[in-house]
Each structure stands twice: as C-alpha cells, then as structure tokens.
Structure 1
C-alpha cells in the first residue's frame, strides 16, 4: 500500500526500494545523477511515480552488463518524461551499446587467453617472462599490463 492519496501511483522512497530491491541510498544517488526523478510533498518527502520502477530496472540491467551510469543517463534522457522504458526502447538502447559491449567482450576474451597462456608457463612474471616479454620490452611502453590493456 502506498503512502500517497488513495489510488495514487506514487511510491515513497522506502516503497520504491522494497519493490525494486535497490537500497534507498542508491535511489537517492540515481536521483542526484539525474537518472530518476521524484516530486516532493509539502513535507519535503520524495514521491516517485510507479513508472520509475521500470526505469530503475533498466538502470540495474544496464549496470549488470557493465554500462557506465553516464551512458545510461544519456539514453534515459531520450525517454520522454513520464513514460516507461518499452521493449522498443530497450532494443534501441541495446543497439546503442552493442559496439561497446562487443569491444569489452573481445578485450575480456583476449585477457582470458593471455592469462591462460601466462599461467601455463608457470613463471607468473609478465615483467621477466622470456616467452612473452623478453628483455622487458613492454616496460618501455609504460607501466601496467600493456598486452592486456591493448585496444
């Protein structure tokens, strides 16, 4: 039961947190980042339209696959205010992020393959490995795992 007027479509932050499974602190953060909106009561309490549940689900699903909040916000900005993400909206968002996700998958596969190769030799030293990095030639390119960070 909501705390708003009878038949109201508004949820308190506690109700939104309970229904979405997202802590109230995260919901306040999403609001500060402009990802979701609330209205304020005369007592300055947040009230969220029930449609925000779908936006929160979209945010969490997007985060789960590694989409940064800034990118999520850019896509949510295309959603007309007061509307919920539809199937078509999710498809368009997925298309927007497809290249980025494919690049991330490719990078993770490369890291997996190089890590497996390294573990296979047993030395566990990328700096001194005579097979992968003879003479530490990768060190001249800068610090960090140069082969793993390669785009």
Structure 2
C-alpha cells in the first residue's frame, strides 16, 4: 500500500519522510518542531534537517513562538496546503483500491480491530515508560 501511494505521490517531488511531515503540519499548523519529532517518531535532528529542506523548497515556514522565542513553530505554506489536498486525495484512492471486495461491515470490523491494536501499542509504550521510570527511582 505504501509503495503504491509513494509511486503516485512521487510527482510532487517529496520523499516519503517529507510528505509525512507535510501531512502532519497541514493537520496541525503551528506545531512545535520538538513535538513534530515526537509525532513522527523520529529524532529531533532528523526533523530539523527535514524542516530545513522543506523550508528551502517553500513547503513550510518556521516562526518563533510568541511566548518562548526558543520554540520554533512550523506552519504550512499555500504550496503545502495545495499538495496536502492532492496527497489526501491520492491516499483515499489507494485506500479504496486496497479495500475492493471488502464489505462495509467487514471494513468496520477491520477498523475497530486496528484501532484496538494501535491503542494496545500506545498503552504498552505508556506502561513501559512508567515501568522504566519506576525502576529508575
């Protein structure tokens, strides 16, 4: 599914890491750069490099936070918002293609199951962090 999407989105001239960042920034305009690293589950230095390249390409802009000038907030440009609309449409097409032949009821069951898996993994990370913090204390 990822390969099919990337093949279709390649015309935008963005790497998979860049379009992931673009989607997140388009959904959460003004997100702090450090928070963006957490959301994308990549190292802050990697986000910094991605943001540098995307800013140079006119996809995003950095602004200082009004209350803490050390914090860099990331905003999409008009170019990014237009690309986001296209990426969203492409993702919808690939999603629909992947579910051809799956009934609406089966889709609902699948989505519920995947939501449960995601929640279990998120809960597991929280539990692991609490266990690690408790052991260190």
TM-score, structure 1 length as denominator?
0.28
Structure with the larger helix share: 2
TM-score, structure 2 length as denominator?
0.30
